[in-house]
Amino acid sequence: MKEHIAHAIREGRKARGWTQEEMAGRIGMATQSLSNVERGQALPSLETLARIAEVLEMPISWFLPSDVKGKSEQRLALDARISTLVAALDDREAEVAAGLLAVLLRVYSRSGG
């Protein structure tokens, strides 16, 4: 779970084009502390996570994996990355992305991949 939270925060920051220093300033956190959180070396407090969610304009639940049972850390990180990318899209772009994913799933299900 720590890796999922770390990845979601890092991807959210990068999606907005912010450096760690910029984001740390926005949430009132030391840059080194944010770095530790983004590397999965520390978990943010609930209060800090709420501030992060606010500046990234995401619900706090977005940072928490909805289903971790049976998922590898790599898969959790990929899920967080995909969620971050989709969250940055407007409605039209999200609709196009959903269509592309549907096509990708059909292609893979036919090929057995």
pLDDT in tens, 58-75: 888 878 776 656 777 777
Average of per-residue pLDDT across 21-36:
97
Average of per-residue pLDDT across 87-97:
90
Query: Looking at residue 44, what is its pLDDT?
Result: 93
Tell me the pLDDT band of 14, cut-offs 50, 70 and 90. very high
Query: Looking at residue 60, what is its pLDDT?
Result: 86
DSSP assignment of 39-62 equals: TTSSPPPHHHHHHHHHHHT--GGG
Q: Which residues does 31 contact at the CB level (< 8 Å), separation at least 6?
A: 20, 21, 24
* Residue type for position 65: P
- What is the dihedral angle through the alpha carbons of 17, 19, 24, 26, rounded to the nearest 10 degrees? -40
Q: Give this prediction's pTM.
A: 0.63
